[in-house]
Amino acid sequence: MLNLYAQFAAVEGSDLGTAIRASSWLFPAIEAIHLLALALLGGSLLLLDLRLLGAGLTLQSTSMVERETRPWLITALSAMVVSGVLIGCSEALKLFDKPAFWVKMAALAVAVTFTLAIKMPLAHRDVSGAKANWLAILSIGLWLTVALAGRWIGFS
Amino acid sequence: MDPLSQFTIWLAQTPWSIGLHESLYAYTWIETAHVIGITLFVGTIAMVDFRLLGWAWRTVPVSEMTARILPWTVAGFVLMFATGVLLFYAIPIRTWHSVWFRTKLVLLLIAAVNIWFYHRRARRNRALWDNAPRPPLIARACAAISLAVWLAVIVMGRMIAYNWFDCDKPQSGLVFAVAGCSTYPPDEF
């Protein structure tokens, strides 16, 4: 059986994890990047979700809004994952013991899969009506769950 | 002591400030709402700035972009500002004497002047370039300043949490002056 705890211990003890912990400014800097990417992620998600709800850029087609937000969403998501992994490396064992971390990872997996495999392909085909509304509501709900669980890691 | 520093000392002694400061959940919820406000505000303003820079939405008229997106930006600002005031109210003295917070205030002032300048000067002949994929330099400059300033505001805000430059420990002359440590009250507050 895979010993997950040992894996987390190895990550925490790695050169990368040690280097981030040893520096007084690296952790805050990575945290700041994580937050900047969050703003970009929020903007690119929201413009498409608003369009799916019949708000925001309604004079443009849903597929056009999907196409325009896609590169920003991918950029923001990549920056969030990279900075998030770096944050995780520095405190892997602390995270291992926090239910909020596992809730966030599960919600993140669902949110990313839903966004890339369901919401955006359907938006690309100009989905409309109740189906479009539900896509937007699910998207906002899933990403808020990720964000709130993430916030809870810092507090629990 | 200057009136503002006196005001923060008075503020810190009001029951609601103490209540927020000592609360188990209220402060965290306000902070969470503050981050959601930032995401809404900066995320949407960035999309408008990308349009003005010609980086995205090149086929969408600038007037349409601002009319359809800026109301959401304003909603984000209201949430961000209201929760920001509460966060300051919970920890008035330390925040007022934070070099990060003071830098953030200056950046907010620059952002306000930039918005004023855009509306007064850059937007004046917008009809001429409303459909231009790449608006004129003056509009692109305003958008670039907006992006840079708001990104810096986020970073400054995050750094307020760190105590490297707090007045309750020895600081260099520069930090002492910028943070106004001479009016930092003694321990009883």
Read off the pLDDT of residues B112-166 as tens digits, 9 standing for 90 and up.
999 999 999 888 899 999 999 999 999 999 999 999 999 999 999 999 999 999 9
The number of folded domains in chain A is 1
Q: Is the pLDDT of residue A1 over 70?
A: no
Residue A2 maps to a domain: no
Q: Is the pLDDT of residue A137 over 90?
A: yes
How many helices (H) and strands (E) in chain B?
9, 0
A153 reaches B (C-beta below 8 A): no
Say how far apart CA B64 and CA A22 lie, in whole Å.
49
Interface test with A, best of B30, B34, B47 (most A CBs within 10 A): B47
Interchain CB contacts (distance < 8 Å): A and B:
80
A17, A89 Cβ separation under 8 angstroms: yes
Residue A4 maps to a domain: no
Q: Which of B28, B42, B50 sits opposite A155 (nearest CB)?
A: B28
Longest dimension (CA), chain A: 55
Say how far apart CA B53 and CA B167 lie, in whole Å.
41
- Percent of all residues in chain A with a pLDDT value above 70, rounded to a whole number: 99
Tokens of B139: 């509009």
Average pLDDT of span A69-81: 98
Mean pLDDT across chain B: 95
Listed in sequence order, the residues at least 6 apart from B34 whose beta carbon sits closer than 8 Å to its beta carbon are B79, B80, B83, B84, B87
- HSE toward the beta carbon, residue A56, CA cutoff 13 A: 25
Residue A1 maps to a domain: no
Interface test with B, best of A23, A45, A47 (most B CBs within 10 A): A47
B97, B167 Cβ separation under 8 angstroms: yes
Q: Distance from B126 to chain A by nearest Cα, in Å?
A: 19
Domain of residue A129: give its range: 11-155
Task: Give the pLDDT score at B186.
Answer: 75
- A24 CB neighbours in chain B (<8 A) are 164
Q: Distance from B1 to chain A by nearest Cα, in Å?
A: 33
Read off the pLDDT of residues B49-66 as tens digits, 9 standing for 90 and up.
999 999 999 999 999 999
**How much is the ipTM here?**
0.93
Q: How confident is the model at residue B187 (pLDDT cuts 50, 70, 90)?
A: low
Mean pLDDT across chain A: 96
Q: Which residue of B has its CA nearest to A151?
A: B32
Q: Which of B47, B151, B159 sits opposite A36 (nearest CB)?
A: B151
Phi, psi of B130 (to 5 degrees): -55, -35
Q: Supply the DSSP symbol for B59.
A: T
Q: Is the pLDDT of residue B189 over 80?
A: no
- Percent of all residues in chain B with a pLDDT value above 70, rounded to a whole number: 98
Residue A125 maps to a domain: yes
Listed in sequence order, the residues at least 6 apart from B10 whose beta carbon sits closer than 8 Å to its beta carbon are none
H/E/C letters for each residue in A17-71?
HHHHHHCCCHHHHHHHHHHHHHHHHHHHHHHHHHHHCCCCCCCCCHHHHHHHHHH
Residue A6 maps to a domain: no
Residue A5 maps to a domain: no
Residue A21 maps to a domain: yes
Q: Distance from B158 to chain A by nearest Cα, in Å?
A: 7
Q: Which of residues 21-40 of B touch A (CB under 8 A)?
A: 28, 31-32, 35-36, 38-40
Say how far apart CA B100 and CA B63 lie, in whole Å.
35
Residue A20 maps to a domain: yes
B72 reaches A (C-beta below 8 A): yes
Q: Which of B145, B157, B67, B24 is nearest to A38 (CA)?
A: B157
Task: Give the pLDDT score at A5.
Answer: 93
Task: Give the pLDDT score at A2.
Answer: 74
Task: Give the pLDDT score at B122.
Answer: 87
